[in-house]
Structure 1
Amino acid sequence: MDNSVKKPLLLSDDGVEPDHVNKSCFLKSTLKWTLKIVMWVIFIAWVGLIFLYPGELGTELVNKIRHATEGTIFGISGSLFLAFSAPILIIAFLAAAHLIISGEDVFEKKKTTKSPRFRLWTFPVLVDGPFGVVSASELIGIILFVVFIIWAAYAYTMRNLSFMTEFASQNVGIVMLELTGLRLGMMGLLCMAFLFLPISRGSLLLRLIDIPFEHATRYHVWLGHLTMMLFTLHGLFYVIAWAMQGTLVKELLQWKSIGIANLPGVISLLAGLFMWVTSLHPVRKDYFELFFYTHQLYVIFVVFLALHVGEFVFTITAGGIFIFMLDRFLRFCQSRKTVDVLSAKCLPCGTVELVLSKPQNLRYNALSFIFLQVRELSWLQWHPFSVSSSPLDGKYHLAVLIKVLGGWTAKLRDSILSMSETEQEMTKTITASVEGPYGHETPYHLMYENLILVAGGIGISPFLAIISDILHRVRDGKPCLPRNVLVVWAVKKSDELPLLSTIDMESICPFFSDKVNIEFNIFVTRESQPSLEEGKVHAAALNSSGCPLSGCSMSVLVGTGNNIWSGLYVIVSTIGFVVLMTLLRIFYIKPYNISTWWYQGLLLIACMVASIIIFGGFVVYLWNLWGKKASAKDEHKQDDTIKVEPDQNGTVSQKTLNQNSLDSSTIIQYGTRPDFKEIYGTVSKKWGSVDVGVIVCGPATLQSSVAKEIRSHNIVRQRQDAIFHFNSHSFDL
């Protein structure tokens, strides 16, 4: 027993592996490293070309690619597609192969370092300001983009000045305005090549680099502000030039067949401006529904951009947009299926717990989240929620905790309350649709031997899943590093404390304290002493069985699900896109001499959509059949039953939920907030010179406070002190 406390459960080193196993591991490792190297080479070459393109060297490189592919059926459009879009699609192909080879193994044998080390992606550098908490690696990315913008502005300005001799007979000021507007538009297109990559929730690219959607969203926000600023200036410079010429209205309404069509550009820019204005933080925070609905104008923005610039210019951004469209179609197919809500509870602290039915073969980890739609409340609104259950809690269910904060969540609570009070419980139902689960490709919470989990309010939800996951793995002897876990939880009132009782640690892993040290530091900020109120939990038992009903569990169609099907979906859809474009050019564009720019841009968009629906849809159909067949084998098994046993009044007392009472490892302080400087200092002295993973889930102010103290501690740390690694699990659209 003592050995189990000291030695973390990683991969067992007992015995000597057979030669064929070693050869297989060596071959697998070699293939993975080869794929990584090839992907890095392609990515660096692609980014390098985009960076150099504004200058003469980059233009010469693109011209060489054009000359090398000259004479093909795709023409100049194919050349630009090969230079700007094909690389990211090739990387997606290779990412699929890498994920398939990696399989389901999230732990790899590796030498553990004796001393802690800093990591660029977990070291907070900026903690206040417009970007929020920024790690060292993110700061490097921001600096590179700033350098790119400065370099592009300089290179294009020099090229504009070199053209002045050719326009000596014209108004130099107007010519400079139009040339500058043209260059700003091209800079916006180059930034847009990256814009849609972070919001492809189940993208193979995000999974490859293990960046979950809730982190990648902020990169889309940053890129969106930059792109729209460039496009706005692009349009503004042209408007000023046309106004000076007295042709403003004529130019705005112009729709050329050959060349740039202005009117589609105006429509695209207006749609982009609506999205941009409503995405600003004050509007997004206070009028989220306005932001959400307005952001659906991205369809207008993209389609009319293609009409504005034509096919060959649009191919610069086509790769990233195509990857986003792949993800969007898969989400659409997944969300069409309704999901059983096995049980629903309303806790007295204003929190709703939903337990959803899922198939056994649905893959996710404890730090995942889902998008949830309840059609009885709204057919349009989707809301993200962290998963509060471990995948090891049960094969057929998944739980989420929802804090009642707005109108939608209040309607959900009222619906559950009305169901618990009615005599005929089954006369009303909750019909849920789900997108996801999404999250990290690897459960990084299992990669630290020492963990600090910092939560604010309902932010405890994913940490309940983490604790459950750790306890299950310790009990079953599965790979798991954490030996010391400290939970720091700040709540406003003590009525939120029963949330901890949704996990019974002793029943999951008896005598877990002999194997893993779990401590709770709870801070009740708005009460000076414990509350005497006992509260009631209203419950609606919608389905008493944990086994999913036929056709009523979550769909297996999710980008972060089965690696083989995800890879086939991307590969077949992309090949289908190339095939459709080839056939279109052979049998339509060439024979009928189609040369209209905006029409060719529309045909390109149509081919992208058709390839995903036809070719990708066929893979989705087979994927869905496979999922149904796999689920049918287990539909009679009931190994994880969910039951709710309300009393005669349809409620469950809070006392029942508190049967797993807080023990001596829990410290509750009233009327105070966490002092992270003191907490880190105490932990550093207690745990010594080790790596400590800090995961934060809560409001932006909490994240900033935690990150600031981590930065301060790491900068002035002594050799014997711990190194703290900042990880955020907060989702903020």
Structure 2
Amino acid sequence: MADDDILHTSQHPLLHSNGAHANNKKKKNINFVSLAKSVLKFTMWIVFLAWVALFLVVPTDFGSELYFDWIGATSESPFGDTGSMLLLYSAPIIIIAFLAVPYLLISVEDRLQLQEKKTPRFRLWTFPVLVDGPLGVVSAAELIGIILFIVFVVWDGYFYTVVVLRTIPDDIPKEQCCFILINLGHRIGTIGLCCLAFLFLPVARGSVLLRLIDIPFEQAIRYHMWLGHLTMLLFTLHGLLFVIAWTIEGTLLKEMLQWVDLGISHFPGVISLVAGLLMWMTSLYPVRKKKFELFYYTHQLYVIFIVFLALHVGSFIFCISAGGIFLFILDRFLRFCQSRKTVDIISIKCLPCETVELMLSKPANLRYNALSFIFLQVRELSWLQWHPFSVSSSPLDGKYHLSVLIKVTGEWTEKLRGNILNSSRVDLHLRPQTKITASVEGPYGHELPYHLMYENLVLVAGGVGISPFLAILSDILHRIREGKPCLPRNILIVWAVKRSNELPLLSTSDMELICPFFSDKLNLEIHIFITRESQPPLEEGQVHEATNSSPSVSNSCSMSVLVGTGNNMWPGLYVISSTLGFVILLYLLDIFYINPYDISPWWYTGLLFVICMLASVFIFGGIVVGLWHLWERRNAAKEACKDDRIMVEKMQHNEIVAHEDSCQQKLASSINTYYGSRPDFKDIFGNISEKWGCVDVGVIVCGPPSLQTSVAKEIKSQNIRRQCNHPIFHFNSHSFEL
């Protein structure tokens, strides 16, 4: 007994020592990661600010001197003048992309360390400032960005105008006028190229830059639209000034058809501008709303726009905007590789409210957040059309499937529903085979699940906009049940629908089955507003059967992991290898072709520059994509019981459908239904202010622009008139609007 006591007492110091050593080691690792993140973030900020300062300083006299000194000092390198411009204008944004790779990799561990903030505070990204203007709902941070960009354009325009006025010759008025117009046209074209340097960054859907700043594509697309209008306005003014000058000189046709070896060729510029104008005109809201296919197909002219712009200005000037274009090409090639793969549809269900639910097969290592969306193509309907849909399932619902809800509202969705209904009418003695071949891009969305970072949530949906909120509820319930990090405890859902036949959407996810007795752990209220019915229909309470179809899963083809949120290692290797390949190809081109053969035509060097960009992505990036694909197949091969697991998840999905009645009974006490009325957000947010007190309240809106505007207007009003004991509302939009 004494020996046991001695052994017992002797073990405790050892265990305590080991535990302390492990804790110290863990703290050191945390400190090292924190230090590395700080260094990377500081470096990226310095590079970005220096890049932005470059565009502001170069037009000034001081900046012009530095610019010419730089060109003179670096033009003797093997890359020549093109390398000087590339290093000056395009290298900074690519360097930031390089640094973003390790930053995202080391940020994975602490990205879900959620801590409740004791004191509520305003945030620039979630404070709506402009709510009624043509730009839609604009946050304080976005307004600051818009103002800074306008200041940049005015600043550059002012200094370039001063330069032009200083060099006016003392000649006859006609020549003097043409000289002013031509020089001013050159300067405005340069400003347009500076805007073009930013234009393609927001539309690189899976870009590491968007992941770095955690701006999802459905929000970044707005920045692309704003920049697109500004860029095309500048390029149009640029071309118009030249047309006026050539008309005055009487050489309009001759100058427009000019194609020279040394200097800027006008005819490629005319082609590029025409392509840009077609894209611009068809992207205006009235055209885009009524003729979406015309907008979509015309927008593919961006290839003509970029290539002929390079032929127009040559490689030297094209380097001003080459960095953003290169990152876009990287993303576009990766999306092309992902979209070539067909995806199995595990199950299809046509709900009575003219909504289709698709369950798609995905690999276990594909990570996404509840507020994600995918682009879906159905080849039986169209080989060119891709449509975005919010994910309606939580990543915790199952490792091997992902669900989307598709509302039948247009020609494409009507064809999809008709295809499903026709295929389900096969003779009952035969196994129904739904003839749908799906391809998927994504998932895209926030890198961080920001819906988990608020203890208090208000979810405002219009119609099928309830879809992402079903994923949010499922995600929160799974996390509460499994004890994973999750802050939300008070959730209010405000759902506006036109008719009561849309209510079955709410029962597509059985909350009680996911987390039994969830009402003890989560305060959930649901307010449903049925706007076009003054009273409950006579058939209320009757169960409307959904049309189900179970396609065969023969090829076991799941979604590709090439694009999406969460995976940062392979995209990082892809970006790095493609960029290094681009530098290598430029070096080899200069050493073995351009310099020995004295290749001087500007348009030709511009064409070679674009070819090097494409070749580096296809060859060097393609090698990484090939290895990535092999790695994906190897992981899929390890999942020996994958088919069985899919069938288990499918059975679980069917169990959810079977428990609809149970779900409805459990939710009945928390659901309030109002017929013939619309949500009164002033009353709703006023009640929240009195009930929840001084806290942060995250408001997420998914619905039409009018709904977003109404919610943003009331949030702005509540925050401005806020008293010290009232909450701060944070506006977040999840609606995808092209």
- Shorter-chain TM-score: which interval? over 0.9
Question: C-alpha distance in 1, partners of 2:472/2:554?
Answer: 28
**Alpha-carbon contact 1:62-1:83 (below 8 Å) kept:** no
User: Deviation at 1:556?
Assistant: 1.2
1:456 aligns with 2:462: yes
Aligned to 1:522: 528
> Which one is further off, 188-197 or 419-428?
419-428
Are the structure 2 counterparts of residues 656 and 516 from structure 1 closer, same or farther at C-alpha, using a change threshold of 3 Å? closer
Counting only pairs closer than 5 Å after superposition, residues 585-604 of structure 1 correspond to structure 2 as 585-604=590-609
Between 1:243-252 and 1:16-25, the stretch displaced more is: 16-25
Structure 2 residue 239 is the aligned partner of structure 1 residue 230? no
Which residue number in structure 1 is paired with residue 549 of structure 2? Answer: 540
Give the structure 2 partner of residue 274 of structure 1. Answer: 278
The answer to whether the aligner puts 1:724 opposite 2:719 as a matched pair is: no
Distance 1:527 1:96 in 2: 53
Secondary structure class of the residue paired with 1:610: helix
Of 335, 339, 343, which aligns to 1:339?
Answer: 343
| Alignment-derived partner of residue 61 in structure 1 | 66
1:237-248 matches, within 5 Å, as: 237-248=241-252
Alignment of 1:203 with 2:207, yes or no, is yes
Corresponding position: 1:115 with 2:119 = yes
Q: Which has the higher helix share?
A: 2
1:256 to 235, 260, 269: 260
1: CA distance between counterparts of 2:170 and 2:426?
82
Which letter does structure 2 place at the counterpart of 1:138?
A: E
Match of 2:478 in 1: 472
Q: Give the structure 1 partner of residue 663 of structure 2.
A: 660
Output the CA distance in 2 between the equivalents of 1:561 and 1:442: 9
| Separation of aligned partners in 2, 1:450 and 1:387 | 22
* Separation of aligned partners in 1, 2:198 and 2:538: 55
The secondary structure found in structure 2 opposite 1:587 is helix
Matched residue type, 1:540: S
1:392–1:559 Cα change, 3 Å: closer
Counting only pairs closer than 5 Å after superposition, residues 317-716 of structure 1 correspond to structure 2 as 317-423=321-427, 424-533=430-539, 534=542, 535-543=544-552, 550-637=555-642, 638-639=644-645, 641-643=648-650, 657-661=660-664, 662-716=667-721
Runs of 5+ unmatched residues, structure 2: 1-18
Asked if 2 retains the 8 angstrom alpha-carbon contact of 1:541 and 1:644, the reply is: no
Which deviations, in whole Å up to 9, do the C-alpha atoms of 1:690-720 show, x marking residues without a partner? 0000000000000000000000000011000
Q: Match of 1:439, as an amino acid?
A: G
Contact kept in structure 1, 2:453 and 2:486, CA below 8 Å: yes
Larger Rg over CA atoms: 2
Gaps of 5+ in 1: 1-14
Match of 2:97 among 92, 100, 106: 92
CA shift, 1:508, in A, is 0.4
* Partner deviation per Cα, 1:72-124 (whole Å, 9 max, x = no partner): 011111111111100000000000110111125422366x5422100000000
Asked whether the equivalents of residues 549 and 635 of structure 1 are also in contact (C-alpha less than 8 Å), the reply is no
Distance 1:30 1:367 in 2: 31
Q: In the TM superposition, what are the counterparts of 1:42-53 in structure 2 within 5 Å?
A: 42-53=47-58
Deviation at 1:531, TM superposition (A): 2.2
3-state SS of the aligned residue for 2:258?
A: coil
SS class of match (2:385): coil
Residue deviations 1:488-528 (CA, integer Å, cap 9, x gap): 10000011000011110011001111111111111111111
Q: Residue 699 of structure 1 aligns to which amino acid in structure 2?
A: P
Q: Secondary structure at the match of 2:669?
A: coil
Question: Is the alpha carbon distance of 1:84 and 1:692 closer, same or farther for their aligned partners in structure 2, counting shifts above 3 Å?
Answer: same
User: Cα–Cα, structure 1 residues 380 and 644, in superposed 2: closer, same or farther, change >3 Å?
Assistant: farther
Partners of 1:447 and 1:58 lie apart in 2 by 45
Deviation (angstroms), 1:530: 1.7
User: Which piece of structure 1 moves more, 69-78 or 284-293?
Assistant: 69-78
Between the aligned residues of both structures, percent identity stands at: 64
CA deviations on 1:513-566 (whole Å, 9 max, x unpaired) are 1111111111111111222334331111114xxxx7655100111153421101
- C-alpha distance in 2 between matches for 1:150 and 1:114: 43
1:291 is aligned to 295
2:264 aligned counterpart, secondary structure: coil
Equivalent pair of 1:370/1:435 in contact (CA under 8 Å): yes
Q: Secondary structure at the match of 1:536?
A: coil
- Counterpart residue identity of residue 101, structure 1: I
Aligned residues: 710
Q: Cα deviation per residue 1:132-158 (whole Å; 9 max; x = unaligned)? A: 000000000010111111111211110
Residue 46 of structure 1, CA deviation = 0.2
Shift of 1:204: 0.4
Q: Please identify, of 95-104 and 228-237, the stretch whose mean Cα deviation from structure 2 is larger.
A: 95-104
Q: Give the counterpart letter for 1:197 in structure 2.
A: L
CA contact (8 A) 1:268 1:304 kept: yes
Counterpart CA distance in 2 for 1:472 and 1:414 is 35
Which is worse superposed, 135-144 or 557-566? Answer: 557-566
Contact 1:541-1:643 within 8 A present in 2 as well:
no
The answer to whether the 8 A contact 2:424-2:432 is kept is no
SS of alignment partner, residue 513 of structure 1 = helix
Code of the residue aligned with 2:663 in structure 1: it is N
Q: Once the two structures are superposed, what CA deviation does each residue of 1:36-74 show, in whole Å capped at 9, x if it has no partner? A: 000000000000111222222332232232233231011
What residue identity is the alignment partner of 1:517? Answer: N
What amino acid does structure 2 have at the position aligned with 1:634? E
2:198 corresponding residue in structure 1: 194
- Does the 8 A contact of 1:341 with 1:432 survive in 2? yes
Residue 646 of structure 1: how far off its partner (Å):
13
- Any conservation in 1 of the 2:694–2:728 contact (CA below 8 Å)? yes
| TM-score using structure 1 length | 0.94
Aligned partners of 1:124 and 1:134 also within 8 Å: yes
Paired with 1:514 and 1:646, the residues of 2 have a C-alpha distance of 25
Name the SS for the 1:632 alignment partner. helix
How much has 1:657 moved relative to structure 2? 4.4
Cα displacement (A) at 1:422: 1.0
Q: What is the Cα deviation at residue 643 of structure 1?
A: 4.0
SS of residue in 2 equivalent to 1:200: coil
Residue type at the aligned position of 1:690: V
1:159 aligns with 2:159: no
Q: Distance in 1 between matches of 2:718 and 2:382?
A: 47
Residue 678 of structure 1 aligns to which amino acid in structure 2? Answer: D
* Post-superposition offset of 1:426: 4.6
Flag the 1:645–1:117 CA change in 2: closer, same or farther, 3 A. closer
Residue 131 of structure 2 contacts residue 709 of structure 2 at CA under 8 Å; is this kept in 1?
Answer: yes
Q: Distance in 2 between matches of 1:86 and 1:30?
A: 25
Q: Which residue of 2 aligns with 1:18?
A: 23
Q: Match of 1:382, as an amino acid?
A: W
Structure 1 residues 32 and 229: alpha-carbon distance in aligned structure 2, compared to 1, 3 A threshold = same
Q: Which whole-Å deviations, capped at 9, do the CAs of 1:254-301 have from their partners, x for residues lacking one?
A: 111110110100000000000000000000001100000000000000
Amino acid at match of 2:254: K
Q: Tell me how far apart the structure 2 counterparts of residues 167 and 631 of structure 1 sit (CA, whole Å).
A: 76
Residue type at the aligned position of 1:135: S
Q: 1:45 to 1:168 in 2, by over 3 A?
A: farther
- 1:208–1:442 Cα change, 3 Å: same
Task: Quote the residue 1:6 is aligned against.
Answer: none
Number of the residue aligned with 1:218: 222
